[in-house]
Structure 1
Amino acid sequence: MSMTPPSVEKLAEIMAKLRTPVTGCPWDLEQDFSTIVPYTIEEAYEVADAIERNDMAALKDELGDLLLQVVFHSRMAQEAGLFDLQDVIDGISAKMIRRHPHVFADVSADTADAVVTNWEAIKATERQHKSSDTSALADIANALPALLRAQKLQKRASRTGFDWDTVDDAIAKLEEEIVELRDARNPAHTAEEAGDLLFAAVNVCRLSGVNAESALKAANGKFERRFRAMEEIAGDQFVALDLEAKEELWKRVKKEEKA
């Protein structure tokens, strides 16, 4: 493994050539911030997937792909006269030093909880200086997955004292939302109440110390695993089975999985 300090200069030079008019790559030259965003999001998820699979070789590759996204966006910004890659690096370096005063200054933080408390206080101060939006909910990205954004909204609101006292209170609200969904009068009302139900479920997760996005991802994986096992048992006959037979298969797979 090389001990040479890491440098992104070579990658930045490659991107500059790809974006050079006439001699560059036609595809790269056609891109802008909005067209690259889906790739940026996809690469972040692929990093997460490699970690989940504990595939370190894949993680190395996916981190490179994600780094390319940073270089790509920075190059387009440089061409527009907005900022460049060095500005991005300088910005995050300054931010990390600013948000870790217990390491780079004389602030005390002996536990992880104390670090988080300091971090959030510093972020709140930064928001006040950066934007005219003084809400506690300011700067929570709209592009976040809905469950993750719901959890962040609730967490921010909780810091102002707007929260349930216990998880039991949140569960009671969840049960209330189930009744309201059952009583919905039309598709629009059903959609509204379904959203309220999901939001309430996120609250239960948060107050239980569970990440809602991770929990749903695990549930998706469990469903897929069990469904595929049902298909494997029934073979070509699976689709033709009635619901009762499929339910029996589900119970069988679930029992075998827990055995």
Structure 2
Amino acid sequence: MEKNFDSLPESRKQQLMAFDRLLTIMDELREQCPWDRKQTLESLRHLTIEETYELSDAILENDLPEIKKELGDVLLHIVFYAKIASEAKTEGTFQFDIRDVLNGICDKLISRHPHIYGDAVADTAEAVKQNWEKLKLKEGNKSVLSGVPASLPALVKAMRIQEKARGAGFDWDEKQQVWEKVEEELQEFKDNFNIETEQVIDQKEAEGEFGDLLFSLVNYSRFVDINPETALERTNKKFIKRFQYLEEASKADGKALGEMTLNEMDVYWNKAKELKI
């Protein structure tokens, strides 16, 4: 439904004017700036991935000013891709602009939320997710899992695979069942690759068993409402901060990191823990 601009609340007018300003700047840069004029869909791809990770870092740090900045960078890339696509002149090339992008996502949101814009009923978040997957199959997806991008990092991919399988009803009923599976996979790994012996192990088989163990842990994380990607990244950040404290504190004491024993380094590591680093 088309809305009259003058009838909109002032806050919405300001939002639309800000978006129009970005579109205008994008038009100007694409026409006048040598770097912006040179960019293609392919050349922007790795930069978009980088910006997305920077946004992710800001979210994990709960740094709202940085989140605002990184959201702007991501939004710029969306506008940039749409601008490039709108310039496609080759015969047979599919063209679209930012209006098509916006209308496309609006249409999808409306069709995927029949409990809001139709007669369907979905009283819980889980019911909404199940409806979403059913609708995607009706729209032509050949598999519930076909919507999982092949290039996702393995940990995130495991999460998405499990979430989508759950949406189709393929999941455990109780978290205790899932934990039993974790223990089963851990025991299989220990039985096949005993850490107390020096025997040569089959690396391919070990990798497979370890993958099964990780997959089961990711599965359990869903049942206790823990995002494993976020949990692991927070641990990564914590390790980095404590290790950097170890480096700085030992250097201040005149010690060389590479010449210290593990016990000596543990003193600084435990101090970092005491300091809540």
Percent of aligned positions that are identical: 35
CA distance in 1 between partners of 2:191 and 2:148 (Å): 28
Structure 2 residue identity aligned to 1:124: K
Whether the 8 Å CA contact 2:129–2:167 is kept in 1: the answer is no
What whole-Å deviation, never above 9, does each CA across 1:169-222 have from its counterpart, x for those lacking one?
A: 232234135327736734444444443333233223223321110110111122
Query: SS at 1:209's partner residue?
Result: coil
Instruction: Confirm or deny: 8 A CA contact 1:99 1:119 kept in the other structure.
Output: no
Q: 1:191 to 1:34 in 2, by over 3 A?
A: farther
Deviations 1:87-130 (CA, angstroms, capped at 9, x unpaired): 110011122222333433344444xxx14412431343224323
- Report the counterpart of residue 27 of structure 2 in structure 1: 16
Q: 1:151 to 1:51 in 2, by over 3 A?
A: closer
Match of 2:7 in 1: none
Q: How far apart, CA to CA, are the structure 2 residues paired with 1:187 and 1:30?
A: 46
Q: Which amino acid aligns with 1:45?
A: Y
Residues 100 and 119, structure 1, Cα contact 8 Å, conserved in 2: no
Aligned counterparts, 1:181-200, within 5 A: 182=193, 185-200=201-216
- Report the Cα offset of residue 50 of structure 1: 3.0
Q: Distance in 1 between matches of 2:271 and 2:192?
A: 31
Q: In structure 2, what is the Cα distance between the partners aligned to 1:12 and 1:53?
A: 30
RMSD of aligned alpha carbons: 2.9
Give distance in 1, aligned partners of 2:40 and 2:192.
Answer: 42
**Equivalent position SS for 2:148:** coil
Partner of 1:179: 190
Q: Counterpart in 2 of 1:82?
A: 95
- Aligned-partner Cα distance in 1 for 2:182–2:85: 47
TM-score (norm 2): 0.76
Query: Which residue in 2 is equivalent to 1:148?
Result: 156
- Which amino acid is 2:42 matched to? S
The size of the alignment, in residue pairs, is: 249
Find out whether 1:105 has 2:115 as its counterpart. Answer: no
| Among 52, 60, 63, the residue aligned to 1:52 | 60
1:210 aligned to which of 222, 226, 242: 226
Consecutive unaligned residues of structure 1, counting only runs of 5 or more, are none
Q: Is the 8 A contact 2:178 2:216 kept in 1?
A: no
Give distance in 2, aligned partners of 1:222 and 1:53: 11
37-46 or 182-191, larger mean C-alpha shift:
182-191
> Structure 1 residues 194 and 108 mapped into 2: Cα distance closer, same or farther (>3 Å)?
closer
d(CA) in 2 for partners of 1:180 and 1:137?
32
Indicate the residue corresponding to 1:247 in structure 2.
Answer: 266
Larger Rg: 2
The 3 A distance-change label for structure 1 pair 226 and 58 is closer
Kept in 1: contact 2:83–2:97 (CA 8 A): yes
* Alpha-carbon contact 2:155-2:228 (below 8 Å) kept: yes
Using the alignment, how far apart are the partners of 1:27 and 1:186 within structure 2? 51
* Range that drifts further, 53-62 or 212-221: 53-62
Structure 2: distance between partners of 1:83 and 1:18: 19
* 2:239 counterpart of 1:226: no
CA deviations 1:28-59 (Å, max 9, x no partner) are 23322222122222222333333333433333
The verdict on how the C-alpha distance between 1:95 and 1:56 changes in structure 2, with shifts beyond 3 A counting, is same
Q: Is the 8 A contact 1:180 1:193 kept in 2?
A: no
Superposed displacement of residue 248, structure 1: 4.3
